[in-house]
Amino acid sequence: MEYVTLELNTNYTIRCEADEPLSWRLASDSLNYDVQTFNTGDPQRPHGSMLYLLDISTMNLGNYYCIKKSSIPNSVEDMMDEELVELVNNNTASSIYVYVNGKNKCTEELHVIFTNAIILRQTPIIFYHKMNFRSLVRFSTRIRSYHANQLCPI
């Protein structure tokens, strides 16, 4: 999984190109951002879209998806995390996880119980992990559907 670590109060651009029009799924609905579409000049991937993340805050923490519009059943906002992961696995979307450097009370003190299910000989086994928020974020790099900003509202 791709990821990037950003600094507070900076700007960042994510660029996406495809053979058809694109749409974005953001980590949070309350972000300061802008989207611009463009023609790439490449006949195999003529559709481009740039997502400008402005004035980065801890609300920017999470997954960002660039999705081919033909893969969206109704509304990108209504899609479940599992559907988005499936689109990435089928190469009809791409994703990047954004981490944000900076201190705030939430990232320092939040502890959560994280559930991880695995299958052992066709029997689901549930493990509960108690870890601090920083450990959970590091652990979540292996889990595409995890949205850390849901645990840390600002």
* Higher local confidence (pLDDT), 31 or 123: 31
Q: Which residue has the tokens 């299910």?
A: 117
Percent of the chain with pLDDT strictly greater than 90: 56
| Residue 4 half-sphere exposure toward CB, CA atoms < 13 A | 15
pLDDT tens readout for residues 62-72: 999 999 999 99
Instruction: List strands edge to edge, sheet with 93-101.
Output: 2-7, 93-101, 62-68, 22-25
Q: What are phi and psi of 52, to 5 degrees?
A: -100, 115
Q: Report the alpha-carbon distance of residue 97 to residue 63 in Å, rounded.
A: 4
Which of 76-85, 94-103, 114-123 is the least confident region?
Answer: 114-123
Q: What is the mean pLDDT of residues 106-123?
A: 38
Q: CATH number for the 2-150 domain, one of 1.10.760.10, 2.60.40.420, 2.60.40.10, 3.30.870.10?
A: 2.60.40.10
Q: What residues does each domain of the chain span? A: 2-150
